[in-house]
Each structure stands twice: as C-alpha cells, then as structure tokens.
Amino acid sequence: MQINSAEFIVSNTDVGKCPSEPIPEYAFIGRSNVGKSSLINMLTERKQLAKTSGKPGKTQLINHFRINKRWFLVDLPGYGYARVSKKIKKTFQKFITDYFEKREQLVCAFVLIDIRHEPQPIDLEFMEWLGMSGIPFAIVFTKADKLKPQAAERNTRNYLDRMLEGIWEEAPPHFITSSSDGRGKEELLGYIEHINQEIKS
C-alpha cells in the first residue's frame, strides 16, 4: 500500500469526541520511548506527522490521522514510565482503556516492543488484557537496526516463545521494523491493506 495522504484530524482525551466516520481504525501503542512516533512518521513518510521527543511520555492524547481518506491511524499515549504526575498518569491510563473498550471502529491494535529488551511484565500484561478483552492485536518490534539480523531474529523468537509459555495458544502476528532504515514498512502496511480489503468484501 502506498500512503498518498496523511491528515491530522483531532487530539483529545475523550473517546466520545473521536471521529464518527465509519472507517477502519488502527491504534499504535507501546511503552514510553519505544519509538512509536518515529515508526508512524516512517510508515507515512511524513517527518513531523507524529511529534518525536527524547523525553519519554511525550504523547498524552488520542491523536487521529486520516490515511488515504480510507482509514484512521491512531497514535495513543505510551503506558508505563513517563515524566508526568501520578494524577495525570491515572487519567490517561483510564482513557486508554476507555478507548479500547468503547471504540467500535477499532479493528486492530499494534503493540510496539523494543526488540533489544527482554519481555517486560507491563507489555505482557497489557497484551493479556487485550486478549481477554477480545481486541485483535499484532506485535511490532521496533529498533531492529540496533541489532545484527541474527540477534533480532533470536530476540523475536525468544519473545514469542515466552508468550506461548503463558496463556497464549498461538503467537499473534508480528513485524520486525526499523524507523531508521524502513525495515518492515511494506509488510506492516500490507497487513493493514489486507484487513481493509477483508472488511470491504
């Protein structure tokens, strides 16, 4: 899929104020500083579509972008560590769960994982919550350029094996990406296009 247009539509903390258009929606979420904004900019080929920052926890709103006038890409706040007050953190964690529980247009969540790290309890717990809530999701491993190809493959395999040791009967779809060299872009956009086609048919 070629992305020809990417328009910022709205930012808010109220799921009820999200766009009402009945088009498919794909949400991107992960721990703070996982490289989410960089990945979104890489996928859309827009350098500043999503705001990037060296400070974890930059995104604190639900951000909607209309892609090719056919589907929404949603940039969600990172969970876990962020330099915000406990009160603010509780608020945006609440609207994250509200979004996933109430947003009917959502067809798939992409959970971003830094490929360099061991499986983190907060990521595993979040994906378990998605599974228990019946929300389709795929894993997007980020920052693959930071490892040699063999190490990236090994870390990915170890991560999925760890999931299969838990509650999962089968591993979710996964993608190995790098916002620096564009790795995984075609596969990820192709997956979205495949779902869009299935919805239309």
Cβ partners under 8 Å of residue 98, min gap 6:
15
Q: Which of the 8 DSSP states describes residue 193? A: H
Backbone angles phi, psi at 21, to 5 degrees: -60, 135
Stretches where the chain sits below pLDDT 70 are 51-59, 80-92
Annotated domain spans of the chain: 6-200
Q: Phi and psi at residue 130, in whole multiples of 5°? A: -60, -45
Q: How many CB atoms lie within 10 A of CB 200?
A: 8
- C-beta of residue 156 within 8 angstroms of C-beta of residue 115: yes
Task: Determine if residue 45 is left, alpha or beta; phi over 0 gives left, psi from -120 to 50 gives alpha, anything else beta.
Answer: left
**What phi and psi values does residue 125 have, to the nearest 5 degrees?**
-65, -40
Q: Which pLDDT score is estimated for 122?
A: 86
pLDDT attached to residue 86: 65
The CATH fold assigned to 6-200 is Rossmann fold (3.40.50)
What pLDDT was estimated at residue 177?
98
* Helix residue ranges, H only, 45-184: 86-102, 121-132, 149-164
Amino acid at 1: M
- Beta-bridged to residue 30, according to DSSP, are 112
DSSP-derived pairing of the beta strands 71-75 and 25-30 = parallel
At residue 143, the pLDDT reads 97
C-alpha–C-alpha distance, residues 56 and 165, integer Å: 30
